[in-house]
Structure 1
Amino acid sequence: MQYRAEIIEHKKQKRIAVWYANDPRLISRFRKLDDAKWSASLGVWHVPDNVANRLRFKLRLDEANTVGMDKIAEIEAFKRYLNTKRYSANTVKTYSEALYVFLMFFNHKEVAKINNEDVVNFYSTYILEKQLSTSFQNQIINAIKLYFKTIKETSVNVDKIYRPKREKLLPNVLSKAEVKKILMAHGNIKHKTMLSLIYSCGLRRSELLNLKPRDIDSKRNLVIIRQSKGKKDRVAPLSAGVLELLRLYYRSYKPEFFLFEGRDAGTKYDERSLAQVLKQAVEKAGIAKPVSLHWLRHSYATHLLESGTDLRYIQEILGHKSSKTTEIYTHVSTKSLQNVKSPFDDL
């Protein structure tokens, strides 16, 4: 990308102004950067002046930014620590990105001098002002706690970092008719098979994309999910109808390494492309709901419960560590509620 970047002062703050070709794709990428803003008066996009952005746009690091460079090194060391402890790739990515956000908030303050008061300040001036979710806040807390437990010099008392209460939200569930419309929407056998497998086995997105052909046990009608969340293997029953879809798909695409591969043979199918596949199916089905891939997993669990499947089996199939996680589906199941007669009918 051809661009020109320089340090400016805008509204009494140091910012990095970036000029580049008026390309919608570039603008879309730039807008995703943290605190990226457009200045109508200057006619330029600009971002905060910090070490990450100086490195991103190849600008000279001054003495004030050496603190930021130290933090970059700390985050890389933290990543290595997580990898040695065998955390999953997703957890390493999530924790390191969360820690990056936190440490870079205190751009010119040494890590050893960050204290609990700073943590509270981060909550109020970053998380609350931006109205970020409690799940994101919990990710930050997990990263902070784990990080400050691994370093020697710190002013943070980890035990005094509080955790916000999670919202008690019910899972989003589709009706069987809605699921059928979504699964039948695509004519493309690959797209149809991916969505059908997610629903029919209650898979997480990453679990589907990590599947290999050998994980389909057609003789026993099982799908083997290897080293998923919590580094556990488990099995899920495979529908006869989905097995036929898989056979048709396999004959057409002949995947080499992953069951569902990207454009290049042997490469994993892209997460964003899978989300787009679902989005297109939902639009074709005429369903006006913000359906995500996880909705299919929630719907599968709820439909199993409504058909009389024991909660313990559902827990095993979904790979939940605690039965309490699975019990949430009892709150959205309509099986018992349909038998409740409203007193309105007796008026």
Structure 2
Amino acid sequence: MSVLGRSQSTFSNYSRHVASMALHFGKIPTELDPEQVQEYMFMLQKRSKTPSQTYFKHCVYGLRFLLKSEGLPYEYLHLPSIKHEKKLPTVLSKEEVWQMLKSCQLLKHKVLIGLLYGCGLRCMEVRSVRLQDLDYDRQQLKVVQGKGKKDRYVPLSEHLIRVLKVYIQAEKPKTYLFNGQPVERAGRDFDSRYSQRGVQWAVKQASKAAGITKDVCVHTLRHTFATHLLEDGLDIVSLKNLLGHEQIQTTMEYLHIAQLDTQKAFSPLDTLFEKCGTK
């Protein structure tokens, strides 16, 4: 997996699912009968609480990688196909983002949400921001080894820079911009970056305090960043580079969400009332 450039989180995810299945049957999955695999998959599908059945899908992906590593076809275990659901992401209005920023009780959370929205960062990327990655003079943030192990630069708002300076002066972080609590697992010391759960909680709390009824998660702010930039006139190629997308097709999905002046949709009720409302 390392040679193929897969991330540590993918490795942990796949190996955890394969290990769970091995423990369930007392043997490695490649020694199982297809019927046993089907039975296990059915159990996972029924146990999955989310509509997307993430746990079920990740188990299939882990088993696929195991078979690939062993040089075996997917049909060896009769693995089911995974249908990719086409869902448009949730996007906030500028007023809702403003309310989230105003609702933050901690300066740390205000800076966090400012970076997620203002720079379009992923959860891991915002957790990994170091002091040395901030370039106030050029008004840029260097995103180091984002998804796909690629570096990129994103613009830093002058408004965010002012708040960053106040936050750093008050909190005095040493290496990473956002510090959490250092933990130790299995004899290994982990760095003290703000945890993924901590970032998720901060975003949920801010959206709740702002009275937003939409289903808001960390990635919602990245979707909102992309959509608002398109609506503000940024071209699609520049947006692709800012988001760090590999394929332009991924970025073009935001064209279905953005309300552009050239193609802004409207309801026929509006024109109906304009023409007939005074009669």
TM-score by length of 2: 0.83
Q: Which one of 110, 117, 123 corresponds to residue 199 of structure 1?
A: 117
Shift in Å, 1:172:
0.6
Deviations 1:203-247 (CA, angstroms, capped at 9, x unpaired): 011100011111111121111111111111111111111111111
1:300 aligns with 2:219: no
CA distance in 1, matches of 2:82, 2:162: 46
Instruction: Indicate the residue corresponding to 2:63 in structure 1.
Output: 144
Match of 1:319 among 222, 226, 244: 244
Amino acid at match of 1:204: R
Question: Equivalents in 2 of 1:308, 1:159: separation in Å?
Answer: 50
Task: Give the aligned length.
Answer: 263
RMSD: 2.6
Larger fraction in strand = 1
CA–CA distance in 1 between the matches of 2:21 and 2:236?
39
Stretches of structure 2 lacking an aligned partner (at least 5 in a row): 183-190
Higher RCO (Cα < 8 Å, 6 or more apart): 2
Alignment-derived partner of residue 221 in structure 1: 139
Change (3 A) 1:327 1:137: farther
Residue 183 of structure 1 deviates from its aligned partner by 1.2
Q: 1:155 to 1:168 in 2, by over 3 A?
A: closer
Partner of 2:41: 123
Q: TM-score, normalised by structure 1?
A: 0.68
1:153-302 superposed matches below 5 A: 157=75, 161-263=79-181, 267-302=192-227
Identity of aligned residues (%): 30
Q: 2:21 is matched with which residue: 98, 102, 106?
A: 102
Provide the secondary structure at the position in 1 that maps to 2:153: strand
| Equivalent residue number for residue 186 of structure 2 | none
Q: 4+ residue stretches of structure 1 with deviation over 6 A?
A: none
Aligned to 1:338, the other structure's residue is in SS state coil
Cα deviation digits, residues 184-208 of structure 1 (max 9, x gap)? 2124221110111110000011100
Aligned-partner residue type, residue 147 of structure 2: K
Cα drift, residue 141 of structure 1? 2.4
Residues 262, 268 of structure 1: 8 Å contact kept: yes
